[in-house]
Structure 1
Amino acid sequence: MAGSADLARTGFQEERMGGTAKAPVRANGRGEITALTRDREQHFRAMFEGAAIGICTCNLNGQITEGNAALSKMLGYRREGLAGLHMWELYRDDLPADRRLFSELEGGTEDFLKQERYFRLKNGACLWGQLTVSTVRDAEGNPSFLIAMLEDATESKRNAERSRTAEKMEVIGRLAGGIAHDFNNLLTGVLLYCDLLSEGIERGSRLLRHVQEIRLAGEQGAALTQQLLAIARKQVPQPRPILLNEVVSSTENMLRRLIGEQIELVIALAADPRPVLADEAQLRQVLLNLVLNARDAMPHGGRITVSTKADRRFGGGHGGVCLMVEDTGCGMDDDTRAHLFEPFFTTKSPGHGTGLGLVTVKRIVSEAGGTIGIKSETGLGTGIEVTLPAIEASPAAGTPQRSRAGQTILLVDDHSSARNSIQRVLHHAGYRVLQASGGRRAMKVFAESEHRVDLLIADWMMPGMSGQELVAKLRQQNSELRVLLISGYHNPKDAKPDLSVELIRKPFASSALIERVREVLDRKGDS
């Protein structure tokens, strides 16, 4: 410690026995106590007692002889309880390297050490502390005793970890945003062509099962991309009134294939719960992540129960709707539960977990105004309950209008696979489709078309001219033009679409695409 040699050079020494200091005497041995000596002792004592950080004196083998009030408060001990403790008793981890450093202080080969470690409090909890230990030497230069200073650096460590996590999230965000557009375009083609194939194959055919497996792989790839975008806050939610029962029912077959035959899946849905306002794709992701986590907790088989129920006590107004996923797996201890929603935290072996699944779940649920509850004990399984605020049930819609022959759609997308697969789905549904690979070509097709364009479907991100820019130019020619923008990746920092412009996120199923097209075309009022 800087200043340890200076303390010896003042010409005064202290004999310490059992934590009490004898009156300082002059080093010249005459025993004359001077006013200067008393002042120095008082100043040292004032600094010792009034310091905001923990300070203690130790004998050379690391046994504490006296600690100040700050150290007592920090560690949760009474001051007399600190005296006699060895420094090793305060360390959470007994490391050989630390013992060696203290031995060097005791032997006089080193004058100080500085380290950051976890220190154990009296109540068993831990803090992250910065410890500095200095050797005080006598007039002859021999080690006499140690002075240790301990500062609580827990909050500093947390801030540093948050900063590192934020940097990781930024890197992931750039990576996810960079690949999401192209990857989701590819997946759009895969999923839509699977839908077209499925419609043309006889039910029960082995070939149909092959197509379904291809579609499942595509859906898993889409979920992974959405997870990366969600964890990095790079995806804009599209909240709509959603029935949790329908989300579970429509995902059940995929869940059964994913968890395997060794695990029983039980579905228990409440009767007629109210809808919630949320992004349907994100709710499917929440369910998928929770069920896959439950599966991984039961490597030797077990049971997963997915259920829904109404919660009239939640929030205000219409209460809430709960989605519960329970398993009979290994459960979790207190330490695991404490870190459960931290990015990159996982109990799985390397290569078998990203540590992003539950973080994504928490973020999606929080953004939807919901809460997450966890019940788990080691060896007794885990139950996770997601509760979302309910909304007023919408009036039952009438029979949806069927595709009307003669309606013309201008489809604009720079990615050929996505554009061609969307064109085939729309054509199969009875629409007349005009295609263009970019904004300038679309304006030419629009101007030269012999049919009035009823709907523009355009990719949000295109080179040369974005979907938003194309909408603005075409609406100068037809102010009533209806618009559906499609996006493989929409950065929240980009301009939001006009209220009269609908947005659907890639990849999507053919049924979802046709449903949105009908909604936009059949909507009454201004475009």
Structure 2
Amino acid sequence: MLDPGGTVRSWNTGAQRLKGYEPSEIIGEHFSRFYTQKDSSAGAPQAALAAALAEGRFEAEGWRVRKDGSRFWANVIIQAIRDERGDHVGFAKITRDLTERRSAEEALRRSEERFRMLVQGVTDYAIYMLDTAGNVASWNAGAERFKGYSESEIVGEHFSRFYTDEDRAAGIPATALETASAEGRFEAEGWRVRKDGTRFWASVVIDRIVNDQSELLGFTKVTRDLTERRNAQIELEQSREHFFQSQKMEAIGQLTGGVAHDFNNILAAILSSLRIAQRRISAGRESDSFIENAISAAERGATLTQRMLAFARKQELELEAVDLLSAVRDMTQLLQRTIGAGIAIRLAFPLQLPPVVADRSQLELAIMNLVVNARDAMPNGGTVTIGATKVEGGESAEDMVCLSVLDEGEGMDQATLTHAAEPFFTTKGVGKGTGLGLSMVKGMTEQFGGAFKLSSEEGRGTTVEICLRIANEESPADSIPPDTVTSPVAKTLRILAVDDDALILLNTVTILEDMGHQVHQASSGREALETLQREAIDLMITDYAMPHMNGAELVRRATAILPDLKIILASGYADLPHGEELALPRLSKPYSENDLNEVIRRLS
């Protein structure tokens, strides 16, 4: 492995045997030391990394240098490595010693007669010789078939006529021969031109031919017409993209009805409770219970939103102590609506179960995946059993809690079971599954520090177990419980509240004033900047999604005016759009008065 700059980060025994360096000698060194002095001076190592980063993969052959100074001919593959967000984190590099193979190939090429016997009957490849200047010296049937020139028309002509005008202007034919001459081999893909002017997508390999004294005699050139394969790959990629989009839309469609139902219930509870409270307040009657009812319903709506964001994978991993029974109970109705009325859900939990270490949102997504898989395994209906048991680890292992999802479906044979948790493996058929569900659950479980188990038998159903570590009771809580009220900040702050939503701005200002702070308000980034220029402000609380100037731009311009200004970013997004990195305290809407007070306390 290499880091993004080309420094060696790992070293296997094959590398040690091939190149002669111990891990302690080479880890931390730049990989360019394996190149010849000539290649290093020409920037070949940097060009290889740049090509791998741009194209995703770089492959070439050339001379490399061992620790003792001897040279060997190597096939090198460099692949760019990116994390799940698409950020570049390094390269994977594979090197093979092809010295013996290259020697054998050169010996074969020294016999021109054997070469002619070999290539003249080949029609799927254009195989021909070039002299040292690049002029065509021989021509086989395959070259004539898909380039269109007869031998008498092309022998003696320069091979650059097969290149496009753009490539000739860029000097690519000359570069190809220079590379083959210097490194022994040139390999590339690109557009080439037939005699009739039409283009085809070609794979081209040019090999250097030398005599026993290492004098250049010419080149062999092999060209393959990959137009059909390339078109098929493009169509496959387009089909795959359409397929993934249809899968996404199918999942959204399954959830839309249930989510709309839940939100309508929540809104009905909020509106009716507030109207009742309003009437009772006007009549001088007690209304606290209805206000509390509206608050509870709103909190249910916030929780539902968070679950939908988790399902869309818009939340960061946040490990905490999770009550499995509570988590499963809270999502049972959503699960039932997702899988339909033909499948029953049964819970099988003990009376007491310790909390486990997990990200609740991601765990709920995993359970959703497993239950949908169980439904698909029972096309004629049945029961999905969700349960959990505590497992004693013994002296050598810690105790764990294993959550299980069991179906009554057809089960899997041993061959299918062996591959079931591999990425993209699916038995559901085209258009009915991505093959990512079990692999996602397995990866998530391992991220939590747990274990994934899969058991199945033909005709007897399938059981998936997620075994998670028991939460340490001595671990500090990550956040303040909702029912804990912190005391207001002792000093009065001059605070600027910014939000384009008038209702939210009114409530934020009122909460801050009730805390005892001096509050200014702005409904746009422009108004906020005008206020900062004329007023002394200690703290700014701003929304992110605002027209004309979003929160990120406001933060940059505000800190240019007041470099020491403390800022809180409040947003309804679970994360900021790609490319926005703001190292600021964040409040996720909707937030409580206690949440707001606690963030202000930490900044004061």
Length-normalised TM-score, structure 1: 0.47
Length-normalised TM-score, structure 2: 0.41
Task: Indicate the structure whose relative CO is greater, using CA pairs within 8 Å and at least 6 residues apart.
Answer: 1
